[in-house]
Chains A and B, each alone.
Chain A
Amino acid sequence: MEKAGIPCVLETWDFPDIIGITEDTFLLNGVPEIRQVLTPPDTTLTSLREYIPEFIDALTRPLTDEEKWSGTYEPPGQPRILMTGTYDEVQSYFEGDLTRFPVGVAPVALMTDGQPVVPPTEDRVARMLTGTSHSPDEIIEIKHQRSGQVQYLATVEKVAINAVMAGCKPEYMPVALAMSESNLPVGGPTDCTSGQMYVVSGPIAKEIGMNAFFEVLGPGNPANSTLGRAAALMGVNLGGCQMGVSTIGRHGDNIWGLTFAEATDRSPWEGLNVDCGFGADESVLVNFGGAIGIMPPCSASFQIPLDLKEFQASMPEGIEASLEGKIGSIGLVFFTPDTAELWKEEYGFETMQELQDYLFDNCEITAGDMRKHYSFVHLKQRILANPPGSRTLNPDHLELPDDALVPVFCEGPDAAKIIVTGGDGMQWGWGRSSSVKSTLIDKWR
């Protein structure tokens, strides 16, 4: 608003960590001296009458020399060496002062995910850097997910430091670097649920021993687990996420860095790497971000011959019904390789694209329900951006009567993502995310 041209003042809670975050945000957006009226952090407060004089003062008191200054600000750099200490002292340092949080607010660690970390010594980081041919000084821009603004400047070495902390092995580095390039849970402030899920599609998954078999979504596999942890640590240290301070989802997202592999070699269809526009022999990181949810998987009981509609109706929520209501989202469908094989043989979906087309054409919602979407104003902007008549949720649909059917997938068939992974047997599941992005891993080898 200040940049737009009129004087303004913000009302902000008088809570040190929030003030710190807001000041960081103001600086990042080029208005560090923006005036604020600090009010008690009290959700029961119904009146700010006693603060009216402060609002008036903020709008009328002449600017100081600092407030009048404009130019380029160079933030102080982070020291390369953080500290020296025993193992316990290192852990305590990374945790930060947990007593700084007010009563009733749970303490959150400063530079970790709440768990002890592997001390990132010079030697360990040097060994981690052998996993990539890229220079340790190479800059990686960390951008805000929505605005695309460059918020932080990481380096290959910084990624290696976080990978060491997570317990990664050097051969995992290309994936970790692709994570930093793709889409980290960056900054805030936000009270929205915001998570990240990473799927590795392509040869590197097997090379580094990732799991795409039984318990693919569970713990136990070193590559899956430590890479997922590295993503979470990078969100904190490279993306500026301070959990509970700048990122304040009511419940948060339980999928904050979930990482696993696609069973590309056991799938009857093209892999996600091809679906995202890369070659079948290329290793790609597919990142799902935003509000991510994965429903418990369903085991299918099949009776041959199968009717597709009957199959769908036999599930507690058929795939179509599961995805209906997820308007504007990325719809995720999880298939075990055996289930994908069955869908190919019984229903004739020769390619993943054919299934995506089917889901786009058959997952619908009424126009009336579309207009009742809790964030329809935001959704409408996306709809208006799609060309009229295109195979998406587009402006033509906005004019339809309430009982007309419109597609669930705002961005077209590609908004339905089929993830083939897991152990032997029949099982399928579904989920959603707010966004999807793909990044080539191979260039980081």
Chain B
Amino acid sequence: MKKLTLLGVICLALILTALPFMAACGAEEPAPVTPVPVTPAPVTPVTPAPAPVVVPAPAGEGVFTVLNPVANQPPIEVHALNPRLDTLDGKKVIVVNLRGGNEEAITSVGPDLQAAVPGCDVTSYTVKDKWGLLPPEIDMIVSEYDAAILGHNY
């Protein structure tokens, strides 16, 4: 390239400077902008939220599918209940204290039942053994009474 003369450089600079002005002169004139007053946002102190506590799962721990440790129950022969009495009037009822606790309460049932059903022959009985009825006692109750109330069941 031939050496630019000083005059050429100056002209080039002037042209480059004038280019935006020349483009603007060719564009449509923008609409006037009405400035909108801006209310500055109130500044309130903000307490920073605590950082969430992240407890990472122990390394390698997943889920466990576990087997059932509980045993099954065998088939059971079910017996029907004995027919109920039509009425307690004229019947013999025994109230058995099984000595399973709350003895004063179960003992009170005999007299209260007698008072409620005067025609019923109510007997109160306390088992001889601490752990319930012995076979001879069961035989006695079945042979001599029409019904039984037993308590306290534990």
> Are B138 and A4 interface neighbours, CB within 8 A?
yes
Give me the 9 closest cross-chain CB pairs, A-B, nearest first. Answer: A11-B151, A152-B71, A75-B73, A8-B148, A119-B64, A82-B68, A237-B69, A154-B71, A70-B80
> Are B74 and A56 interface neighbours, CB within 8 A?
no
A residues with a Cβ closer than 8 A to B are 1-13, 18, 22, 27-28, 30-37, 39, 43, 45-49, 51-53, 55-56, 59-63, 67-75, 77-87, 89-90, 111, 119-122, 125, 141-142, 150-155, 157-158, 161-162, 165, 189, 191-192, 233, 237-240, 248, 374-375, 377-378, 381
B residues with a Cβ closer than 8 A to A are 61-88, 93, 100-102, 104-106, 108-109, 112-113, 116-117, 128-131, 133-134, 138-139, 141-142, 145-154
Q: 8 more A-B contacts (CB under 8 A) besides A6-B145, A7-B83, A11-B152?
A: A33-B81, A48-B109, A60-B84, A72-B76, A73-B78, A121-B66, A141-B74, A158-B69
> Are B67 and A82 interface neighbours, CB within 8 A?
yes
27 A-B residue pairs with CB within 8 Å? A7-B81, A7-B85, A10-B150, A11-B149, A18-B154, A30-B77, A31-B78, A43-B101, A47-B105, A55-B149, A56-B88, A56-B116, A59-B147, A60-B84, A60-B88, A73-B78, A82-B67, A111-B70, A119-B66, A122-B67, A153-B73, A154-B72, A161-B67, A161-B68, A237-B70, A238-B71, A378-B129
Q: Complex Cα distance A80/B64, Å? A: 14
What is the distance, in angstroms, from A407's C-beta to the closest C-beta of chain B? Answer: 22
Contact with B66, one of A62, A90, A381 (Cβ below 8 angstroms) = A90
Q: Complex Cα distance A85/B62, Å? A: 8
> Are A6 and B146 interface neighbours, CB within 8 A?
yes
> Are B151 and A12 interface neighbours, CB within 8 A?
yes
For B82, the chain A residues whose CB sits under 8 A away are 2, 5-8
Q: Complex Cα distance A158/B69, Å? A: 5
> Are A59 and B76 interface neighbours, CB within 8 A?
no
Q: Complex Cα distance A390/B148, Å? A: 40
Q: Complex Cα distance A121/B129, Å? A: 46
Main secondary structure of the interface of A (DSSP, over half): mixed
For B154, the chain A residues whose CB sits under 8 A away are 13, 18, 189, 191, 248
A6-B145, A153-B72 known; A87+B61 contact, CB < 8 A: yes
